[in-house]
Amino acid sequence: MNYVTSLKSASEVKTDCLIIGVFNKNNLGIAAKNINDVSENIITKLYKSGDINTAIGSTKIIHSAKNIKADRLLIVGLGDKDSFGRDEFRRVNQAAMNAIKNIKLSNFANYLFLDEAPNTKDYYKGRHFIESYFSSIYQFDQLKTGIKKINPIIKKIIIGISSKNNSEKVKLGCTHGQAISLGSKIAKDLGNLPANVCTPSYLAKESKKFAKIYKKLSVKILNESMLKKLKMNSFLSVTAGSKEPAKLIEMHYKGAKNQKSHVLVGKGITFDTGGISIKPSAAMDEMKYDMCGAATVIGTIIAIAEMNLPVNLSVIVPACENRPSSTATLPGDIVKSMSGQTIEILNTDAEGRLVLCDALTYARRFKPKYIVDVATLTGACVIALGHHRTAIMSNSDELSDELMNAGDKSNDLCWKMPMGREYEMQLNSNFADMANIGGRYGGSITAACFLGKFTRNMKWAHLDIAGTAWTSGAKKGSTGRPVPLLSQFILNQSSIDI
Ligand code: BES
Ligand code: MN
Ligand code: ZN
């Protein structure tokens, strides 16, 4: 994509579609005022006749404005001028992109950048805008036959800036926005693919493909016999009932010398039936999304590689199915994890922690600066935080603060939940070092405490994305979250000035 900034006034810009904004009470944004002045008060007339609405996010396209060089105008409601900030800027851009996504345009000009949005740096304006552009055109139709909707082929995006704006920062924001959008798209596609396509082997194969595209990226796949040698019996206990071979996927991005690596670990259960502790049938199809932790850490490393950041990042994905069969793990079975600690598997549906604990132990060999695992781990998390925020649980306030901050900056929100000895005690077992479940109450926290037993002496955080990784209902689909949060987190760890 070609991003160009323009110092031309709105009426002078030649484009297929010019985007301008109007605040409540017909308070015209800078570009709208310019158009209104040259075009016989067209905006004021439309406002008075009720043809345009200024409520935040309303949109109207018109084709006939005099004395302007654009073929059409997209007029966007900006809401109250006094409360127009970062969030509002993002919302109006999203609305604008949704309004033009089905029109055949070869370029458009966004002149919403001229209006001030307090507390929003030029870089973030560029980023949020481009992320909303790519999210508006996302579609998943690779498994549909028949005529497919073709995306408009936008070749150029023009961004109207005033001399006060920093053109370089706007463009860097756009480029990073495009990289993060690519990471999100990869995560969404992997998430949306059904379990009969997106198997552990498929995830491994796709990861290998990425290593061919980015030269700073290398990929290694461990098969079941290697996992056995590493004594990953906890991970292997989950795949015991499935014919699909389990894989441990390792991806390493080397963008810096002599720097500690960051490590991301993603839960890659390509389908979670619950195993012998089988789940009820209602909405069980959604358990194809149980590999969204994996999808998002893979998406993130691609976003980082695409941005070519001067950091080192590794991604570890334990991938397998959780299914019942005559070889499946039984409730009450006890396994010895790679760490040497033994686990009584009281519920085979609490499998995420069983694959993650061995992956976290394995990750120690990379001596990470920070280690973050990402998992659709508990239904309890959805009860606690709903679908809006990802839960963070951590043994390091420094790390959880960094993640909270990254969530804020990237508008991919999260919230910190507690951990502690009281919760950890719920995992006590009569027969092994720990049980894999801690009872009904505080289910997300006891799951995190379980993982905490495998991350001692590392700065670790756990992100439970059970509520945020996908949407149910008519708009069922993967969200790609938390690729923006994780990308921002790594970006903040780099020396890049944004
Ligand atoms: N993948 C599920 C968690 C999940 C369930 C995420 C529904 C999103 C929606 C996980 O493996 C699981 O089954 N967890 C159990 C844990 C319980 C057995 C302690 C759960 O949450 O019910
Ligand atoms: Mn489960
Ligand atoms: Zn699961």
- The residue count of the chain comes to 498
Task: Verify whether residue 421 is a known catalytic residue.
Answer: no
- What is the set of domains in the chain, with CATH numbers? 2-165 (3.40.220.10), 180-492 (3.40.630.10)
Q: 305 by DSSP, 3-state: which?
A: helix
Instruction: Tell me the angle at which helices 397-410 and 483-493 cross, rounded to the nearest 10 degrees.
Output: 120
**Which amino acid, 230?**
L
To the query of whether residue 353 is one of the catalytic residues in this protein, the response is yes
| Cα 329 to middle of ligand 2, angstroms | 13
Please say whether the beta carbons of 370 and 459 come within 8 A: yes
304 within 8 A of 490, measured Cβ to Cβ: yes
- Residue 115, SS3? coil
Task: Say how far apart CA 27 and CA 61 lie, in whole Å.
Answer: 19
Tens place of pLDDT per residue across the chain (498 aa): 999 999 999 999 999 999 999 999 999 999 999 999 999 999 999 999 999 999 999 999 999 899 999 999 999 999 999 999 999 999 999 999 999 999 999 999 999 999 999 889 999 999 999 999 999 999 999 999 987 776 668 999 999 999 988 999 999 999 999 999 999 999 999 999 999 999 999 999 999 999 999 999 999 999 999 999 999 999 999 999 999 999 999 999 999 999 999 999 999 999 999 999 999 999 999 999 999 999 999 999 999 999 999 999 999 999 999 999 999 999 999 999 999 999 999 999 999 999 999 999 999 999 999 999 999 999 999 999 999 999 999 999 999 999 999 999 999 999 999 999 999 999 999 999 999 999 999 999 999 999 999 999 999 999 999 999 999 999 999 999 999 999 999 999 999 999
Atom of ligand 1 nearest to the CA of 376: 6
pTM of the model: 0.98
Closest CA to 265 of 458, 421, 495, 494: 458
Q: Which of 279, 336, 364, 369 is catalytic?
A: 279
For residue 311 and ligand 1, the question of a CB distance below 6 A is answered with: no
The alpha helices in 116-271, defined as continuous H runs, are 122-137, 167-192, 200-213, 224-229, 233-239
CB distance 438 to ligand 1 below 6 Å: no
- Classify each residue of 54-93 as buried b or exposed e, where b means 16 or more C-beta atoms within 10 Å of its C-beta: bebbbbeeeeebeebebebbbbbbbbeeeebebebbbbbb
Q: Is the CB of 443 under 6 A from ligand 1?
A: yes
